[in-house]
Structure 1
Amino acid sequence: MSGAGRPAPAPLLPVLYEDNHLLAVVKPPGMLSQADETGEPDMVTLLKEDLKMRYDKPGNVYVGLVHRLDRPVGGAMLFAKTSKAASRLSESVRSRSFDKLYLAVAHGAPAALSGRLKHYLRKDAARNVVTVHDKPVPDAKEAILDYTVIARKGPYALIAVRLLTGRSHQIRAQLAAVGCPLVYDRKYGAPPVQGEQDIALWSTSVGVAHPVSKEWLTIVAQPPAAEPWTRFEEEDFAAALALPGREGRESR
């Protein structure tokens, strides 16, 4: 607890949800999900510092990484505050009962307004890029996603994506493979656009059964108020969030 009469410090990142078991925050684009050999800032380390500061905790603080977001991707990210919660949430991820909804702004849209993409992705770690294959190839992993085209504005399309697998660069590579690279994503073939910034991919919601109460929990983060997101309306974002998620599919 903070000292008497002293307000608790503000969190280092926007908090979307927090209880004794879970912490959900907005990950900034460009930050690592967890530490690597570069020593650059990462979410797990930052959140440990945040919890120590806000709750005046001595010693080590537990923060469990449940799922990852690629470095250029921002938005909703869920962490465990206890090892039990981490174990149960990790099982939800493995059993594909962890719902992940992304919004992407792409150059163009797939021919079908909604559908499922299934490819096999092979990562070239040296170049930090994945190649997309229609059939299994050595060292490639199956990648599956469902998509819905929400709106079109000029050459851009707002696309809602639900991941059924969690592969590195999955959405970026699979949409590019069907002719719809994400805005600003030059690595996967996007044309140059004036004022380039973070790639137009955002983790807009995560949903999972709470590890203790078992009640379904949906955590939402709105896309940033910046190009190219501002081309679309609040109603478009609401329509994406209204799409049936994993909870809806399991209850039918």
Structure 2
Amino acid sequence: MEDEADSEDLFDVQEILVDPKQSPVRIDKFVTDKLPRISRNRVQNGIRSGSILVDGRPVKPNHKLSPGERITVLLPRHGDREEGLLAEDIPLDIRYEDEAILIVHKPPGMVVHPGVGNPSGTLVNALAHHLRAQDDIPVLPGNDDDRVGLVHRIDKDTSGLLVVAKTDAAMSFLAKQFFDHSIDRTYQALVWGAPDPADGTIDRYIGRHPRLRQIYTVFDEEEAGKHAITHYRTLEDLYYVSLLELKLETGRTHQIRVHMKSIGNPVFQDEKYGGDRIMKGTVYSKFKSFVEGCFALCPRQALHAKSIGFVHPTTREYVHFDSDLPEDMHAALERWRTYVGHRRHNNTLEQ
């Protein structure tokens, strides 16, 4: 899912085997009885969205179950309830909104979810206020917890687009697409150096670092991590740094950042993964001062969730949303363009 959160952690997946002596019963009633913490309405929405399957196939809510059938239930996880979640009137950069979904652009530095040390001022606090302020908008079940319609997330210091579900039906429909990795998401990143090859695919397992538990690393074996695939394309090669377009085939925590470090091209100014120091060029005087100036312009990892495309939960048509690079990344990129252009003209690129 998002570069910053493992997609599998955002969903509950359960399997139920229908007892050989089970009498015919509607699937929505059967699942509600088996999973009483999930409302019948939410179960029905899950069935309609294809998130609840019988023997691997979608069915209708009135499907009569037969003995021996296997039910797979995939539903977005509603996290632990946050007592007294504060709905705050915080400005939101909303790029699109209708009765079912909302597309919001998260600026760098904004935390997505409340948590220890961040009880307020988050995107969720702002969304809670925005959704509840509109009386004609149905309140998503679970709006009292820390999810508020979010079926994916990005890290505090990553900027970009997020889709928010405004109804439970939309939540189920979008969640299924995220779980199936059918959502089309494009990132852009400024990375150190020039990847070789310029366009390629990184296919390596990702898991927690065995010693440094706050970061992730790559592994060659499945037992040590989860399968992760990142496709990248070089948009601009500036010798010292490159602007890349990246697409995720899987959604592991910190996937882009870990994969780019693994090939020697960490994301520019990424403190956790080594991008906050000079990785290409000399470490002396003028160049060092120049790089520090670029760090000051973009004081966070230069990673942006640029676009997102998916099948709309109401119209069932494909929709696509795009955004420009934020000012801090654009400013750093322009400074590199000027510097490299001057050096190339004078044939004085540092080796």
TM-score range, shorter chain: 0.7 to 0.9
Give the match's secondary structure for 1:148: strand
**CA-CA distance at 1:50 after TM superposition:** 2.2
What do residues 84-121 of structure 1 show as CA deviations (whole Å, max 9, x unaligned)? 10101000011111111000000112211211111111
Which of 104, 118, 132 is the aligned partner of 1:52?
132
Q: 1:224 aligns to what? A: 326
Distance in 2 (CA, whole Å) between partners of 1:216 and 1:231 is 37
Q: Do the aligned residues in 1 keep the contact of 2:186 with 2:308 (CA within 8 Å)?
A: yes
Structure index of larger Rg: 2
Q: 2:269 aligns to what? A: 184
Which of 284, 303, 323 is the aligned partner of 1:201?
303
Q: 1:37 aligns to what? A: 116
Q: 1:131 aligns to what? A: 217
Q: Do the aligned residues in 2 keep the contact of 1:106 with 1:183 (CA within 8 Å)?
A: yes
Q: Do the aligned residues in 1 keep the contact of 2:139 with 2:167 (CA within 8 Å)?
A: no
Q: Do the aligned residues in 2 keep the contact of 1:12 with 1:50 (CA within 8 Å)?
A: no
Compare 158-167 and 37-46 and name the one that shifted more. 37-46
Distance in 1 (CA, whole Å) between partners of 2:102 and 2:90 is 11
Q: Do the aligned residues in 2 keep the contact of 1:21 with 1:82 (CA within 8 Å)?
A: yes
What do residues 175-227 of structure 1 show as CA deviations (whole Å, max 9, x unaligned)? 01100011101221122541420210000001101011111111112111233
Aligned length: 222
Q: 1:107 aligns to what? A: 192
Give the match's secondary structure for 2:327: coil
**CA-CA distance at 1:135 after TM superposition:** 2.5
Q: Do the aligned residues in 2 keep the contact of 1:118 with 1:134 (CA within 8 Å)?
A: no
**CA-CA distance at 1:228 after TM superposition:** 2.1
Distance in 1 (CA, whole Å) between partners of 2:165 and 2:336 is 33
TM-score (norm 1): 0.80
1:77-92 residue pairs with structure 2 within 5 A? 77-92=162-177
Give the match's secondary structure for 2:231: strand
Unaligned 5+ runs, structure 2 = 1-88, 279-290, 338-351
Percentage identity across aligned positions? 32
Q: Do the aligned residues in 1 keep the contact of 2:139 with 2:166 (CA within 8 Å)?
A: no
TM-score (norm 2): 0.58
What do residues 57-95 of structure 1 show as CA deviations (whole Å, max 9, x unaligned)? 799665311111122101111110011101010000111
Which of 17, 22, 25 is the aligned partner of 2:96?
17
2:319 counterpart letter in structure 1? L
Unaligned 5+ runs, structure 1 = 1-9, 234-252
State the superposition RMSD in angstroms: 2.5
Give the match's secondary structure for 2:326: coil
More strand by share: 1
**CA-CA distance at 1:18 after TM superposition:** 0.6
What do residues 216-252 of structure 1 show as CA deviations (whole Å, max 9, x unaligned)? 111112111233233589xxxxxxxxxxxxxxxxxxx
Q: 1:237 aligns to what? A: none
**CA-CA distance at 1:127 after TM superposition:** 4.1
Q: Do the aligned residues in 2 keep the contact of 1:105 with 1:228 (CA within 8 Å)?
A: no
